[in-house]
Amino acid sequence: MRRAVRGVGVLAAVGMLAGCTAAGEAGGPRPTGGSEVVQPAATGPELWGAGAIWVSPEGEQMLCASVPGELEGWGPPQVCTDPLQVSGFDAETIETGDDGSRTTGLGEDGWSWSAHVLSGHLAGEHFTVTAVDTPALKSLAEARNRPPEPVEQPVTRTEEEKQAAYHASMDPAIFGCEAPDTGWSSVEGWWLGAVEEYERSHPGAVVGWNSLWPSPGVEVALVGAAAGSHLEAVRADLAALLPNGVCVVESKVSSSDLTRALAEPAFGPDPYLSRAGQEVDGHPTADPYFWLSTTAVSPELTAALETYPPGFVLVSTWFEPLP
Q: Note the pLDDT tens digit of each residue in 37-79.
A: 444 455 668 999 988 888 888 888 888 876 433 333 344 444 4
**Per the structure, how many domains does the chain have?**
2
Residue 263 has pLDDT above 50, yes or no: yes
pLDDT band at 173 (very low <50, low <70, confident <90, very high): very high
Q: Same domain, yes or no, for 199 and 172?
A: yes
Cβ atoms 249, 222 nearer than 8 A: yes
Residue 293 has pLDDT above 90, yes or no: no
pLDDT band at 105 (very low <50, low <70, confident <90, very high): low
pLDDT of residue 79: 46
pLDDT of residue 108: 60
User: What does the H/E/C string look like for 256-295?
Assistant: HHHHHHHCCHHHCCCCEEECECCEECCEECCCCEEEEEEC
Q: Same domain, yes or no, for 107 and 38?
A: yes
Residue (of 151, 240, 134, 152) closest to 197 by Cα position: 240
Q: Same domain, yes or no, for 106 and 168?
A: no
pLDDT of residue 98: 46
Alpha-carbon distance of 316 to 137, in angstroms, equals: 19
Q: Same domain, yes or no, for 139 and 161?
A: no
Cβ atoms 286, 174 nearer than 8 A: no
Average model confidence (pLDDT) across the chain: 79
Q: Same domain, yes or no, for 209 and 75?
A: no
Residue (of 118, 139, 212) closest to 174 by Cα position: 212
Q: Same domain, yes or no, for 100 and 212?
A: no
Q: Same domain, yes or no, for 141 and 177?
A: no
* Domain-terminating residue out of 117, 145, 173: 145
Q: Same domain, yes or no, for 194 and 139?
A: no
Q: Is residue 322 part of a domain?
A: yes
* Domain-terminating residue out of 145, 167, 194: 145
* Domain-terminating residue out of 99, 125, 145: 145
What's the average model confidence in pLDDT over 251-256? Answer: 96
What's the average model confidence in pLDDT over 22-50? Answer: 50
pLDDT band at 225 (very low <50, low <70, confident <90, very high): very high
Q: Is residue 151 part of a domain?
A: no
Q: Is residue 132 part of a domain?
A: yes
Q: Is residue 150 part of a domain?
A: no
Chain segment 275-290, per-residue pLDDT in tens: 998 888 878 999 999 9
Q: Same domain, yes or no, for 169 and 140?
A: no
320 phi, psi to nearest 5 deg: -140, 160
What's the average model confidence in pLDDT over 17-35? Answer: 32
Task: Tell me the HSE value of 18 on the side-chain side, using a 13 A CA sphere.
Answer: 19
Domain that includes residue 132, residue range = 5-145
